[in-house]
Amino acid sequence: MRSLFLTVNVLLFGLLISLNTKSEGTSLPQNESVTNTRTFAAKGIIQEIKNSTIVIKHEAISNFMDAMTMPFKVKNEKDLTGLKVGDEILFQLHVSETESWVDQIIKVGTNALPQTKTSFEPATTVSALPGHPLLYYKFTNELGQAVSLDDFRGQAIAMTFFYTRCPLPEFCPRLSKNFQGAQQKLEAMTNAPGNWHFISVSFDPEIDTPQMLKAYGENYHYDPNHWSFLTGPPDKIAELAQLSGVEYEPDAGTINHNFRTLIVNAAGHLQMIFPTSGDLSDQIVAEILKAAIATNEPVAQKQNQ
């Protein structure tokens, strides 16, 4: 009798599992960014806390990224309760196709000498001189060819700065997706101008060789007729970055940086600066369409407030 009772229980349990499986199978599709989310265990030291962002100097995260200092989004600000700069923490990093965030933050100690605070707030204004020499720098593109920015004179240019090892989707990958999306939109337009070009300048020339840049560009289905990835002498990259309002600093094998996407019109004048890394594809397209028809007459410089 007891054997029969156990058998019935096992059958009922199996039936429940089967029903649950069928229920899951017939449920509405989940958001792709959720189903493709990867989770990593990590350890680090808090550098800064502001609102729902925590800057962490973390150790290498196995199978994902090297040790570096990065800002991370926290979806529930209650997870930050009781934490302060200098705390040593364990945490979980979640990375989907479009975003990343941390949770399960556990304090395990306090660093008596907190690391130097690094601010990752994007600037709201940019001071760029009217004579910004965007077109007078010589680099090497992803095809190993010598390129001068002056070669693109007469074209509407969108230019940004990045490095290929940047792993989080909201950072350099977002900048590249902006160009990818804008490229697709422009190439799909029947009446779009042909005089436009996107330029992605790497500030990691030791790692980002032409071969590396070409492979990176292919991941974003880039069209070399309208999109170039550039590397070059570190001093020239630094000079161009500074003139463009880009701040970057090597840190334990990675690069801390802010964001800039510049629009230069066909007459060679700086038209617009986007100091953020959000989805800018539509805005870039709109600015490129205006920039492509510019003449040599001076234009008023715009700043993204």
Q: So where are the chain's domains?
A: 33-110, 138-291
Closest by Cα among 116, 100, 101, 95 to 46: 116
Give the model's confidence band at 251: pLDDT under 50 very low, under 70 low, under 90 confident, else very high.
Answer: low
Instruction: Give the CA distances from residue 57 to residues 69, 90, 104, 119, 250, in Å, rounded to whole numbers and listed in that order.
Output: 4, 12, 17, 12, 13
Evaluate whether 33-110 and 138-291 have a shared fold: no
- Residue 68 burial by Cβ neighbours in a 10 Å radius (0-12, 13-18, 19+): buried
Q: Does domain 33-110 have CATH number 2.40.50.320?
A: yes
pLDDT at 134: 63
Give the model's confidence band at 147: pLDDT under 50 very low, under 70 low, under 90 confident, else very high.
Answer: very high
User: Who wins on pLDDT, 131 or 72?
Assistant: 72
Give the model's confidence band at 218: pLDDT under 50 very low, under 70 low, under 90 confident, else very high.
Answer: very high
Average pLDDT over residues 29-55: 78
pLDDT at 241: 86
pLDDT at 298 over 50: no
pLDDT at 294: 76
CA dihedral of residues 34, 88, 54, 105 (deg, nearest 10): 40
Give the model's confidence band at 135: pLDDT under 50 very low, under 70 low, under 90 confident, else very high.
Answer: low
User: Who wins on pLDDT, 19 or 292?
Assistant: 292
pLDDT at 186 over 60: yes
Pick from 31-45, 65-79, 92-106: least confident: 31-45
pLDDT at 174 over 80: yes
How far apart are the C-alpha atoms of 266 and 185, rounded to whole Å? 19
Give the model's confidence band at 244: pLDDT under 50 very low, under 70 low, under 90 confident, else very high.
Answer: confident
pLDDT at 104: 92
Amino acid letter for position 158: A
pLDDT at 88 over 90: yes
3-state secondary structure of 66: coil
Supply φ then ψ for residue 75, to 5 degrees: -75, -30
Alpha helices in the chain (DSSP H): 2-25, 32-35, 172-188, 210-219, 234-243, 281-291
Determine what percent of the chain is predicted with pLDDT higher than 90: 43
Would you tell me which CATH number, out of the four given (3.40.50.261, 3.90.1150.10, 3.40.30.10, 3.40.50.970), belongs to the domain 138-291? 3.40.30.10
pLDDT at 103 over 80: yes
pLDDT at 30 over 60: no
pLDDT at 153 over 70: yes
Alpha helices in 119-252 (DSSP H): 172-188, 210-219, 234-243
Token pair listed for 114: 């907190």
pLDDT at 255 over 50: yes
Average pLDDT over residues 260-286: 89
How far apart are the C-alpha atoms of 202 and 208, rounded to whole Å? 7
Question: For 248, how many CA atoms within 13 A lie in the half-sphere containing its CB?
Answer: 28
Residues near 64 by Cβ (< 8 Å), separated by ≥ 6?
Answer: 38, 40, 93, 95, 167
User: Who wins on pLDDT, 170 or 114?
Assistant: 170
Pick from 94-103, 118-127, 184-193: least confident: 118-127
Closest by Cα among 251, 203, 207, 247 to 58: 251
Average pLDDT over residues 153-173: 89
User: Who wins on pLDDT, 118 or 42?
Assistant: 42
- Write down the pTM of the prediction: 0.67
